[in-house]
Structure 1
Amino acid sequence: MTSQFPYRLYLVTDELACLGRDFYWVAEEAIKGGVDIVQLREKKLDDRQFLQKAEKLKVICDRYKVPLIINDNVNVAQWVEADGIHVGQSDTAIHEVQKALGVDFPIGLSIEKMNDIKDPYSNLAWYYGVSPVFSTPTKTDTIAEWGLEGLSELKTMSTKALIAIGNIKIQNAASVIAAGADCLAVVSGICSAESPAKAAELFRKEIDLGLKIREK
């Protein structure tokens, strides 16, 4: 597995957040605007529906050379030859995913509390999804928000890339990066934007600003 995680803006898909617009149009516009990694997360679909969606999205991602990550579905990840898989604390165990997909297959892991990184299997992760940085109505199954202080503390305790998710907005993007996030995972901030491409562009500018603040 590569230890490198060069990505800065991570789109997590949500059909409902697209507000009735074409899902694939939203995803492609987001990529055009600066999204450089995409996760297909559609937990209400059965395997057949999930596979069909993944196949279509993979074509778009491949066109722009953007990695496609599949959320907690080993079979779909294999079938579409995805670039990675993401699992949460209550999803398929990360060591079981590794057994199925191989030791070199990139696996992202959600971290909901500091003790999660003490699990010996957590070290198998390609990156940590810090969830949620701020409480969000789109994800209600988490324990508590990390906040900027929690994110900064985690940064000092782990060498993994930290992907911040949870109510990430253009207005707080720079501060989240400055606090220690390596990448921002965005759902409605891009999917629901009037222009997904413009929203992605603005997020990228704020990410750059956050990196400059962090370097001072």
Structure 2
Amino acid sequence: MKCDKHTMLLYAVTDRAWVGEQTLYQQVESALKGGVTCVQLREKQLGDADFLQEAIQIHALCQQYGVPLFINDNVEVALQCHAEGIHVGQDDMAAAQVRQRVGEGVMIGVSAHTVQEALDAVAHGADYLGVGAVFATHTKTDVSEMPRQTLLDICNAVDVPVVAIGGIHKENILQLKGTGVDGVALVSAIFAAKDIEAECRELRALSEQIIK
């Protein structure tokens, strides 16, 4: 399934670390109101049954806003909640295997850190790439910062949308201008914000400046 690059502009990746005053559902709704163009539901700690129940609720919410939902890692949950897509890392199920499981009607995103990983992912059926970490990040301590040239090289090497991820926030987002990325994926910059809706409005405006 082809991925429209416009849906990749402002890509929200959930993280339960900042659930508190709002539930995760409320946080995602605030992000949708603020203009995020897609949502990835990432749950490392929940069991499959709870993950599925949450995914069904979040998917229904995303559908109200006409925004695709991607499930992180869990192919079965993605299929059962009828999500529009699934995102896998280099250590998860290979894109070719995911495609066999989900068929042609589901978008597949793959994390890539090198040009070769990017080319392999596309060859195996990836519809878009998550590339990073473009800046130092606290979310993933085992990932080093990617040189700008590598990001440029990946964008030039593939014909699918590329989403930059890792350590992106309001103060550094415009540094990605001119790299060729189609959007940005954000975790803490969205979900750690005091006012998620207002933050997303600002981030959406900045994201639009990057891709011009």
When normalised by structure 2's length, the TM-score is: 0.93
- Following the alignment from structure 2 to structure 1, what is the Cα–Cα distance between the partners of residues 71 and 14? 10
- Map of 2:109 onto structure 1: 108
Structure 2 alignment gaps of length 5 or more:
none
Cα deviations by residue, 1:63-96 (Å, 9 ceiling, x for unpaired): 1111110011111111110000000000111111
Query: In structure 1, what is the equivalent of residue 29 of structure 2?
Result: 28
Contact kept? 1:12, 1:187, Cα under 8 Å:
yes
SS in structure 2 opposite 1:160? coil
Alignment of 1:35-184 (within 5 A): 35-119=36-120, 122-142=123-143, 144-184=144-184
1:124 counterpart SS class: coil
Distance 1:206 1:104, change over 3 A: same
Q: Deviations over 1:103-145 (max 9, x none)?
A: 3421000002222124276441010100211121111343x32
Distance, in Å, in 2 between the alignment partners of 1:84 and 1:124 is: 13
Equivalent pairs counted in the alignment come to 211
Query: Against the structure 1 CA distance between its residues 20 and 112, is the aligned structure 2 distance closer, same or farther, given a 3 Å change threshold?
Result: farther
Distance 2:63 2:16 in 1: 20
Give the alignment's Cα RMSD to 1 decimal.
Answer: 1.7
In the other structure, the counterpart of 2:204 is: 204
Q: 1:104 to 1:200 in 2, by over 3 A?
A: same
Conservation of the 8 A alpha-carbon contact between 1:2 and 1:104: no
Q: In 1, Cα distance between the equivalents of 2:186 and 2:15?
A: 10
More deviation in 109-118 or 21-30?
Answer: 109-118
Amino acid across the alignment from 2:115: M
The amino acid across from 1:74 in the alignment is V
Q: Match of 1:81, as an amino acid? A: H
**In the aligned structure 2, how far is the partner of 1:121 from the partner of 1:156?**
13
Give the Cα–Cα distance (whole angstroms) in 1 for the partners of residues 71 and 64 of structure 2.
17
1:167 and 1:122 map into 2 onto residues whose CA distance is: 28
Q: Distance in 2 between matches of 1:200 and 1:178?
A: 22
CA distance 1:31–1:150, change in 2 (3 Å): same
Whether the 8 Å contact between 1:72 and 1:87 is mirrored in structure 2 is: yes
The residue type equivalent to 1:29 in the other structure is S
Q: Percent identity?
A: 37
Question: SS at 1:6's partner residue?
Answer: helix
- Aligned counterparts of 1:13 and 1:5: Cα–Cα separation in 2: 20
Give runs of ≥4 in structure 1 deviating > 6 Å: none
**1:159-201 deviations in whole A, cap 9, x for unaligned?**
2211011011011112214322101101010101011111111
